[in-house]
Every structure is written in C-alpha cells, then in structure tokens.
Amino acid sequence: MIVITRFAPSPTGYLHLGHVRNAIEVWNFAREHGGKVLLRIEDHDRQRSKPAFEAAIREDLAWLGFAPDAEVPRQSERDAAYREVLSGLVAQGLVYGCTCTRAEIINSHYEGTCRNLTIGLRPDVGWRIRIEPGVELFDDLRIGPQQQDPSAQCGDLLIRDRLGNWTYQWAATIDDYLQGVTHVIRGEDLLDSTGRQIRLARLAGRPEPATFLHHALIMRSPGKKLSKSDGDTGIRELRARGFSREDVTSMALHGPPR
Ligand code: GLU
Ligand code: ZN
C-alpha cells in the first residue's frame, strides 16, 4: 500500500505554531513510510476564507521548507463531487432539511427536531444526515484503541449549512475518501471528530476507513495548551521578530519561548 496523507489548512487565518507542528508530523510520517503529502486548501467556509490568508499560508509553508508532493482541488471547487456522493444518500432517504438555528442546538448535540418534518433540501436550510446509534471502533496509531458513538456525541450530522457551505466534517471526509488519503495525521484536538468521519465515510461508500494518528499539541508550559489567542504563535510575527526557520520548527516541537 502506498501511504497518502495530507496537510489541509483552512485559509481563515494565518499559519501559526499549531499548523507547523502538524506539518512536521505529516511530512515526517510520509517520509518514514515512503508516502506522499497532498496539500488541500479547506476553504469550504466561503464567508471566512480569504485569498490573502491562503497566500500567506503558502508563503510561510515555503519559507519553512514544506513542499507537498501534489495539490488537490480546493474545497470550494468540489461542489459537484460532494453532490454526487450525497445523491446516493438522498436516494436512501438518509438526508433531510433542517431549519434549526445554532442557538437551538444545546451542547452541540442535535436532538433531531426536523428529522420527520420532510423539509426539502432547499438551498436556504441546513442539510443533515441521519446518524443511527452505534459505536465506531478505531485504533489510533499513537493513542491506541478508541470507541465513539457519533449519534450519542452529536446526533444527526450537519453536512451543509443554511448559507450553502459544506461543513468541515463532510468536505474533509469526502475528500479524504475520493483523494485516496490512507493516513490522516492531525492534532489530538480533533480526536472526537474521528468516529463521525469514519461513519460518514462508510455511509458515503468508502470500503475501508482511513488510518488515523492524532499527535500531541504544543504546550505553552506543562499542562497548559497553546491557543491561537496566545498571540505570539503566528509565523508572520515570529518571522518579523527575526526567528529563523530552525527556531520556529523547534518552537513547534517544544513550545514557544516563555
Ligand atoms: N482544515 C482543518 C483544520 O485546519 C483540517 C483538520 C483535519 O486535519 O482534518 O483544522
Ligand atoms: Zn432542525
């Protein structure tokens, strides 16, 4: 099997140390396994994505020396592919329209309010997929065996919002499937999404799920996670302050200067 992984930034902000940590893990994994890295621009959220962020991300990646083996189409160009996969699920009666607002959804668990209301898949409503109860088992390459029940975690999954944006869960899952991604390497803050993505991929017809590795996040100090709001983690700023590529790589592995 040829290992194919991906680096998939959202152009909704600048590159920061968290991205760099992820890039290091992705490229190292690919190198160790004789695999390839795909670059995928995840601009599924058309309101928040900006060309200026994308340009800056590319520039910072190049400065850091991360060169992808191939680039796949950006998510905003994948409407036809997402619709094509969805049509199979629509034919099985698994998709419905939802008019609930975010405020009505408590603790990010959707209670299925619109499940039986037969609201059509209109462009101005959310689209959801029925998620039946059941556990997804997977073996994370770093953290070990996991079990998650997506129905208990979040209920029926939103795959397209009322603004006509495909959601991260849907776009990333369908892309990982159709682009032949065998290994998803990402931060452990996304561990909770994995059961959902495995379920969605199966519903979409993926014969075998991808393999997942969730790496540790950078710590500011022991036990304290780094957040974007820590402010000094932007690669632009660090470059402007005179840090070298080696300095930035080391911060991404061991934490920023205190
Ligand atoms: N675009 C997502 C992010 O930047 C990618 C997450 C993933 O690797 O699945 O958080
Ligand atoms: Zn609803």
Residue from 198, 61, 206 nearest 139 by CA: 198
Q: Are strands 224-225 and 219-221 parallel, antiparallel or unpaired?
A: antiparallel
Which residues have CB under 8 Å from 235's CB, separation 6+? 14, 15, 16, 17, 19, 20, 60, 63, 64, 248
* CA 169–ligand 2 middle distance (angstroms): 18
* CA 230–ligand 2 middle distance (angstroms): 36
Closest approach atom of ligand 1 to CA 193: 9
Q: Which residues line ligand 1 (CB under 6 A)?
A: 8-10, 42, 172, 186, 190
Q: 22-39: per-residue pLDDT in tens?
A: 999 999 999 999 999 999
Tens-binned pLDDT, residue by residue, of the chain (258 aa): 899 999 999 999 999 999 999 999 999 999 999 999 999 999 999 999 999 999 999 999 999 999 999 999 999 999 999 999 999 999 999 999 999 988 778 778 999 999 999 899 999 999 999 999 999 999 999 999 999 999 999 999 999 999 999 999 999 999 999 999 999 999 999 999 999 999 999 999 999 999 999 999 987 766 666 665 556 689 999 999 999 999 999 999 998 776
Residue 90 CB neighbours (<10 A) = 14
* Predicted local distance difference test score (pLDDT) of residue 229: 58
The residues whose Cβ lies within 5 A of ligand 2, an ion, are 98, 100, 113-114
Residue 125 is given by DSSP the state S
Nearest residue CA, atom 5 of ligand 1?
Answer: 8
Task: Judge whether 180 and 3 are in contact, CB under 8 Å.
Answer: no
- What whole-number distance in Å separates Cα of residue 66 and Cα of residue 37? 10
Q: 75-133: per-residue pLDDT in tens?
A: 999 999 999 999 999 999 999 999 998 877 877 899 999 999 989 999 999 999 999 99
Kind and range of the H or E run holding 185:
strand 183-187
Closest approach atom of ligand 1 to CA 42: 1
Give the CA dihedral 27, 5, 108, 10, nearest 10 degrees.
60
Q: Which two tokens stand for residue 249?
A: 């790589």
